Structure 1
Amino acid sequence: MSQVVVITGASGGVGRATAKQFGARGDHVALLARGNTGLNAAAEDVRAAGGVPLPIEVDVADPGQVDAAATRVEAEFGPIDVWVNNAFSSVFAPVSRISAEEYRRVTEVSYLGYVHGTQAALWRMRPRGRGAIVQVGSALAHRAIPLQSAYCAAKHAVKGFTEALRCELLHERSGVHVTMVHLPAMNTPQFDWLVNRLPRPAQPVPPVYQPEVAARAIVHAARHPRRREYWVGASTVTTVLGSRFAGGLVDRYLARTGYDSQQCDRTPPADEGNLWRPADGPTGQDHGAHGAFDATARPGSRQWWFSAHRGALIAAGTVAAVLALMWRVSR
């Protein structure tokens, strides 16, 4: 049965790949982002995959625009079943080279944009007593790294906001569920369209995964939103657990390696960043889902497969253990 799905930041990267994945399920997919070029191309991807697209140009930093988009979605598609918050922007730079205005803008898009989207979804889902909200998070919501203070702070804020909301929904015994999907480094165009003040072009910290890995995880989370959070990629697991049990050691390790690992020797992007304007800009360029690192990006994650199927694996293991015990007793 098809669903009505809203995705913010749907014109490129993980949002674009996720929109296509929902489209392949035959869903009605509302695409929210800035810039018509990327939005229209994303709509074509959804249509080609078998879904029904609705592109809406929105700046998620403006709650009025987000709420108006939600109203339009329900007017044209019907009740919203799934809302995916994914839109973000940021600055690659040390703290000393990021202005107060830039921190404010990153917060408005990458944190408050999630708040605005979540509230727009809740205002419609709560009275009906059903719906799923998926927050696209990051390993960096658990462990901040140098040169990405604005992004890490926003992801930490989203995590705190979501945990508080989850408790409230449980208190209400609501049929609305909220979950988080924490991602590893992804091969998306963000490394070309974010503001960069580093000496060299930015790159994701290896290992790097293709955006389709994230998309499959997000769709799975939307279908199974009762689980409080999902970790995608072995590197995410290592990052979260390492920070939890050896935070001081991780601080020193990142101080030593975190600068070079986020920079590479490649042709610098011509774009000045999408912090203040759409990524497709005046040139009308469609950035798509993939970034510049296809040659090294991983198309799948064994860790994610085990994580997604852990219930079945635990059940199978339990049955095997019981059968083994019965066999030993019967001998």
Structure 2
Amino acid sequence: MPMTVVITGASAGIGRATARLYARRGANVVLIARGRAALRTAAREVESLGGHPLVLGADTADAEQVEAAAEAAEKHFGPLDVWINSAFASVFAPFDEITAEEYRRVTEVTYLGFVNGTRAALRRMLPRDHGTVVQAGSALGERAIPLQSAYCGAKHAINGFTSSLRTELLHRGSNVHVTVAQMPAVNTPQFSWVRSRLPHHPSPVPPIHQPEVAARGVVHAGDHPRGKQFYVGASTLATVWGNRLAPALLDRYLARTGFDSQQSADRPSAGPDNLFHPVDEPAGTDHGAHGVFDDCAHARSWEAALARHPAAVCAAAAGLAVAAAAAFRGAGEGAFSRVRPGSRRSWRR
């Protein structure tokens, strides 16, 4: 029987790429977002790849809409196996140029949207003692950067909320799991539809990864939910450890470089933003998974691949250790053979 997966923010970016991966498994894929035109295109993709789509329009900032979507998903497919929260919104601007209304909206979508999705999922998973919730996190939830204070604050909040919830589930001895896939900079359409007050086109901070890299991390987290969190990309891991080891130094570095590195003067101007309304309606534009940075985005991540296959890494490391020991032993035996028995030099080899 196919598994049932719910994905918020499924119309574009990481959510869209994740839907494709589950579709290739033949899963029931519930697609949730505000933009129904893009969702319909995503549904056709899921179906063409072997999955079974269900389109549900909902604003994740609205708890009642999310609850209604969860109810419709179970009515259509039955029990939910995995719920993935990946919808978000952001504003690129210095803090004092972001209005209170904009700040509230980013927080309601990017943080409370995850809370709403998690609540709706657990309401169905806990009675059955089965299911997994995956939060699409960010390195910026560990190390904030300038010009994205609302988004960074929301991602920090997700980490705290999820950690608290995890301890409650452990206390219950529950077989329901919640985990976070922490993302690097990803080439998604968000940089073309985010609300921005920057003089140039918003840009992810290099190194940039393609959404398929992020999607593989999300699916891996769904398959192996017992881990507290998963770091996707070496840059995410470097950011986390850099912040833990030298936060003051990183503050000064980001103050010096963080403004220019998030702008791209050679890109076309961003279009309408999606902070309060989806950008695919009424025009019907579908943005897909990729953004405008294909020419400089990485389609692979060695660190993410290693994290998905720890057993293979351990086996390879053990094999290398055995080979090194054998080589060392052979070299030593050869050295011993060149020294006459009883020689005073032989012990030094």
Structure 1 counterpart of 2:68, one-letter code? A
**CA apart distance, 1:23:** 0.4
3-state secondary structure, aligned to 1:178: strand
Q: Is the 8 A contact 2:105 2:275 kept in 1?
A: yes
**CA apart distance, 1:321:** 4.7
Q: Which deviations, in whole Å up to 9, do the C-alpha atoms of 1:161-194 show, x marking residues without a partner?
A: 0000111111111000111001111110000111
Q: Which moved more, 1:155-164 or 1:215-224?
A: 215-224
Q: Does 1:285 align with 2:281?
A: no
Q: Does 1:312 align with 2:323?
A: no
Mapped to 1, the partners of 2:103 and 2:147 lie a distance apart of: 13
Q: Does 1:268 align with 2:262?
A: no
**CA apart distance, 1:281:** 3.0
**CA apart distance, 1:314:** 2.1
2:227 maps to which residue?
Answer: 227
Q: Which deviations, in whole Å up to 9, do the C-alpha atoms of 1:262-283 show, x marking residues without a partner?
A: 0011210221x11110121322
Mapped to 1, the partners of 2:98 and 2:167 lie a distance apart of: 34
Map residues 17-32 of structure 1 onto 2, 5 A cutoff: 17-32=17-32
Map residues 1-331 of structure 1 onto 2, 5 A cutoff: 2-265=2-265, 266-271=267-272, 273-318=273-318, 321=321
Q: Which deviations, in whole Å up to 9, do the C-alpha atoms of 1:187-209 show, x marking residues without a partner?
A: 10000111010111101111111
Mapped to 1, the partners of 2:313 and 2:73 lie a distance apart of: 38
CA RMSD across the alignment: 1.7
2:343 maps to which residue?
Answer: none
Query: TM-score if structure 2 supplies the norm length?
Result: 0.91
**CA apart distance, 1:18:** 0.5
**CA apart distance, 1:319:** 6.5
Q: Which deviations, in whole Å up to 9, do the C-alpha atoms of 1:206-248 show, x marking residues without a partner?
A: 1111101111111111111111111011111111100011000
3-state secondary structure, aligned to 2:298: coil
Q: Which stretches in structure 1 are left out of the alignment for 5+ residues?
A: none
Q: Which deviations, in whole Å up to 9, do the C-alpha atoms of 1:275-307 show, x marking residues without a partner?
A: 110121322211111000111111010111111
Q: Which deviations, in whole Å up to 9, do the C-alpha atoms of 1:30-58 show, x marking residues without a partner?
A: 00000111110111111111100001000
**CA apart distance, 1:309:** 1.1
3-state secondary structure, aligned to 1:295: helix
2:341 maps to which residue?
Answer: none
Mapped to 2, the partners of 1:198 and 1:207 lie a distance apart of: 21
Q: Is the 8 A contact 2:193 2:271 kept in 1?
A: no
Q: Is the 8 A contact 2:18 2:219 kept in 1?
A: yes
Mapped to 2, the partners of 1:188 and 1:305 lie a distance apart of: 20
3-state secondary structure, aligned to 1:270: coil
Mapped to 1, the partners of 2:95 and 2:270 lie a distance apart of: 22
3-state secondary structure, aligned to 2:204: coil
2:345 maps to which residue?
Answer: none
Q: Is the 8 A contact 2:181 2:232 kept in 1?
A: yes
Mapped to 2, the partners of 1:242 and 1:7 lie a distance apart of: 31
3-state secondary structure, aligned to 1:83: strand
3-state secondary structure, aligned to 2:180: strand
Mapped to 2, the partners of 1:38 and 1:14 lie a distance apart of: 14
Mapped to 2, the partners of 1:72 and 1:90 lie a distance apart of: 28
Mapped to 2, the partners of 1:115 and 1:270 lie a distance apart of: 29
Q: Is the 8 A contact 2:203 2:263 kept in 1?
A: yes
Structure (1 or 2) with the larger CA radius of gyration: 2
Q: Which stretches in structure 2 are left out of the alignment for 5+ residues?
A: 334-349
Mapped to 2, the partners of 1:123 and 1:90 lie a distance apart of: 28
**CA apart distance, 1:318:** 4.3
Q: Which moved more, 1:230-239 or 1:308-317?
A: 308-317
3-state secondary structure, aligned to 2:121: helix
Structure 1 counterpart of 2:270, one-letter code? P
